[in-house]
Structure 1
């Protein structure tokens, strides 16, 4: 996002007590939304993050909030937060069809109908037997449109026993079917007669309920089933990533593992999968610990998949000189969500190594108490992340990001792009007068064309620089869409402008 619209001083302090600068209301909400998993972060609990998003919403134009919700779902591939924005928007925006369009825009999967309703009853403090006996008309209208967006397979696939069930949602929303075929599907939902789809989950679940004579017979049955699922191509790309351990441990035959690796590394499949970059890292770590002669070929396939995803990175050419600097401070050692083993630190390393893979002239390193250059090859993204991870204790755990710029300035090294991957809680632990803002001002004297990119991986709502020129940018969020944002910056565009230009249908 181009960060040139801050006005006045806007000086605050960050969570470390260092000078920082507030974002505009739009940028602050955007940053909080696209970096939020509504789970605990280092400086805020999930409830505090949710409350901050709620308060930021009322400081913004409802149309912007609506478009941001749809953008977060369709462009950033987020799921929970867009549903939250849609529900919260309904509390203070009535009398128009803005909420219904938002609801329809953020519900991209059949199960999100039930998830939205579950959050609706939670957000509105509904208790008692009938928690959802009354629904906002605009939310109801949007969900009615959503009901007509899915076929029987999609409804059956996500017909689960959750807080809000599909049948209950149907009776609550009362959608009007778009045609006879859709009405027939609604009748099946009501009568609980949806045809159970053939999916890898249902197949494995049924097998798991079978009684076997012994463990040997059970292992043989699961091997056959995994081979059948691989051959049928019913495993989606994400399912394949998440089940690599199970497939390897099932000891499938070589020909099936070849099919798995071929699909993993297929550039078209990678592009269509829309996976967060760190998903590849999580799979890589799972597989690396296994004792199997398939491990090497699977790791190679994952490296190829990541390199294929890196092809989406634009805005670089061979002559571009790039610095990638990774924050390895204590606040970055925090999981991205409650169930994840992936840390904010991992995401920073992953994005940094993806950027490096596109650059021919690059300086890479990490900072904490000090800044240390660690030279790595352009290829082997996942291997490089592992090497950085192994060495993170070498620089300490403070957040002295200004040292990256100071080193370039003292050595008179002129670079085109300096990319810092951080939670933006930067400060000077030495107690001196150094700061990122001061260091950048000095560096611009020897590198007037240089640009600084701050990748905000946590979204706390402030940045260590007063951003009011065209040479400093903050990029919030960590999906593969950050690459599109980079391209937009090079073209002089703005993520905020993109959101505002969206059409809600």
Structure 2
């Protein structure tokens, strides 16, 4: 008889053979170019991750960008910026697009370059030479000129914060043509050339006057331009009153250090701003950003403000779908998930780990779907008791505190098969680098696919959603009608889950990208 460990009979249709290996060298499935590009676009930050260096990500993106049509490249760039909340990646894709034929670049540019920071990032990408040239070229130059000429005075003032390149560098590079005395004076002010003082915009006059006299009202300029000055508690109150939601979230401890919470009414004002639903929506707040603010609010931050942050998290998670049927969520808590979700960056590494995001997704699904079964995994399933009535933050912290071993994406599915569990939807949140369940032969497929086939015998209508939160171009589950691979850590992954469960297909994510109108 032939070796049964190799030629054993598996119920159901044949498990697809793998066609590549992942970053651990274990069998995996290669994503198609359009899907791989989308995956990198919503997870890649050009920082070193646990498995890949920044250079590797750049090489992969550049290779994939030229394998897809310009229209899809443009839509991916816009989607990554508007829905994925990414910054560097959309700018790079836009820079690549500028070298392609067609008008997709012209249509995508205003959707992505909406502020001075994105303008400077785009110019930086071009000047770096990674897209094949170091000069802007006629088309990009015209659009950059147009942005500088039509931006509001407030937009230009905000754009003046930052270097490499600075806004002054960009102005010197493209030589915008000011259409009025005020803009001509403003450009001269920014690049250090002679200018007509009386023609300066009011916001610049107010800033220069405040530098001379601190008794004047705080000007409406980026607070980074003010922090080098000697500020009082009253100044910080004025800054907070004019600040956007993200600035408030990032400076709660700064307010405490400057004694601002002692000012009557300030605490209530901050709390009300943080929990305001419309403000949260307009600011595009990501759930994990609120989680970080909660984690790092020190003892000087009043409980009223902390409580408002928890309300903000619930609002940011409103897109978590209510899924009909039996739901299982599998957060990866292996050792590699302890790495920062946006990679390592000298002096600016985020405190948010991949495991924090995975735990947040699981806890959020549990909150919306109280009967959800949560199966954290590393080498095996890690047993953690969660209470659906606990806050999302409490359950996320419980999940993030366990694990640390190797990665075995098969483990939760194996348990479900052993239990002959009845399931409708299984959601994985992982970095996708399973290796402990590596098959001996690529013809056996991945361990994850093999166990999914067994579970499908018990649950023919079940669907599998694999959320990958790290930049990669392979998967452990091959794309097909009952399997959705989706990348990123914005609230759009919940939209993709909801649509997949509600009769959608494995093409749901790329359908969302293709639906972008340029």
TM-score range relative to shorter protein: 0.7 to 0.9
SS at match of 1:458: coil
What do the CA deviations read for 1:376-415 (whole angstroms, capped 9, x no partner)? 233411122222222x14xx41111211011112112212
Which residue of 477, 487, 491 corresponds with 1:480? 491
Q: Distance in 2 between matches of 1:501 and 1:262?
A: 36
The Cα of 1:149 is off from its aligned counterpart by 5.1
Which residue of 69, 86, 90 corresponds with 1:61? 69
- Which region of structure 1 is more displaced relative to structure 2, 190-199 or 445-454? 190-199
The Cα of 1:445 is off from its aligned counterpart by 1.3
Which residue of 18, 24, 46 corresponds with 1:38? 46
The Cα of 1:228 is off from its aligned counterpart by 3.2
Contact kept? 1:100, 1:143, Cα under 8 Å = no
Distance change >3 Å, CA 304–CA 125, structure 1 → 2: closer
Give the aligned partner of residue 113 of structure 1: 119
Which residue of 277, 282, 286 corresponds with 2:292? 282
Contact kept? 1:488, 1:495, Cα under 8 Å = no
The Cα of 1:204 is off from its aligned counterpart by 7.1
Distance change >3 Å, CA 208–CA 114, structure 1 → 2: closer
SS at match of 1:323: strand
Q: Does 1:327 align with 2:345?
A: no
SS at match of 2:372: strand
Which residue of 356, 363, 373 corresponds with 1:363? 373
Q: Does 1:224 align with 2:238?
A: no
Give the aligned partner of residue 229 of structure 2: 209
TM-score by length of 1: 0.85
Q: Distance in 1 between matches of 2:23 and 2:162?
A: 41
Q: Does 1:443 align with 2:455?
A: yes
The Cα of 1:351 is off from its aligned counterpart by 1.8
What do the CA deviations read for 1:271-304 (whole angstroms, capped 9, x no partner)? 22212221112111111xx334x54333322221
Give the aligned partner of residue 497 of structure 1: 511
The Cα of 1:168 is off from its aligned counterpart by 3.7
What do the CA deviations read for 1:111-153 (whole angstroms, capped 9, x no partner)? 3222211221112599xxxx97x43122123323433552111
What do the CA deviations read for 1:214-235 (whole angstroms, capped 9, x no partner)? xxxxxxx6433333334xx212
How is 1:229-268 mapped onto 2 (pairs within 5 angstroms)? 229-230=239-240, 233-251=241-259, 252-253=261-262, 255-268=265-278
The Cα of 1:202 is off from its aligned counterpart by 5.2
Q: Give the alignment's Cα RMSD to 1 decimal.
A: 2.8
Q: Does 1:302 align with 2:309?
A: yes
- Moved beyond 6 Å, runs of 4+: 430-434
How is 1:146-185 mapped onto 2 (pairs within 5 angstroms)? 146-147=147-148, 150-160=151-161, 162-175=163-176, 184-185=182-183
Q: Does 1:79 align with 2:87?
A: yes
What do the CA deviations read for 1:67-124 (whole angstroms, capped 9, x no partner)? 2112211222211111111112233x13x33323333332011232222112211125
The number of residue pairs the alignment matches comes to 467
Q: Distance in 2 between matches of 1:478 and 1:203?
A: 28
Q: Distance in 1 between matches of 2:369 and 2:42?
A: 26
What do the CA deviations read for 1:54-78 (whole angstroms, capped 9, x no partner)? 0111111122112211221122221
SS at match of 1:123: coil
SS at match of 1:371: coil
Q: Does 1:27 align with 2:25?
A: no
**Which structure 1 residue ranges, 5 or more long, are not aligned?**
1-7, 211-220
How is 1:94-113 mapped onto 2 (pairs within 5 angstroms)? 94=101, 96-113=102-119
SS at match of 1:418: strand
Give the aligned partner of residue 456 of structure 1: 468
Which residue of 362, 368, 389 corresponds with 2:400? 389
Q: Distance in 1 between matches of 2:219 and 2:384?
A: 45
Give the aligned partner of residue 380 of structure 1: 391
Give the aligned partner of residue 186 of structure 2: 188
Q: Distance in 1 between matches of 2:76 and 2:238?
A: 42
SS at match of 1:475: strand
SS at match of 1:366: coil
Contact kept? 1:147, 1:175, Cα under 8 Å = yes
Which residue of 386, 406, 412 corresponds with 1:404? 412
What do the CA deviations read for 1:238-259 (whole angstroms, capped 9, x no partner)? 0111011122333413631122
How is 1:308-347 mapped onto 2 (pairs within 5 angstroms)? 308-314=315-321, 316-317=322-323, 319-335=324-340, 336-337=342-343, 338=345, 339=348, 340-347=350-357
TM-score by length of 2: 0.83
Distance change >3 Å, CA 205–CA 173, structure 1 → 2: closer
Distance change >3 Å, CA 115–CA 466, structure 1 → 2: closer
Q: Distance in 2 between matches of 1:463 and 1:107?
A: 32
SS at match of 2:242: coil
The Cα of 1:16 is off from its aligned counterpart by 2.0
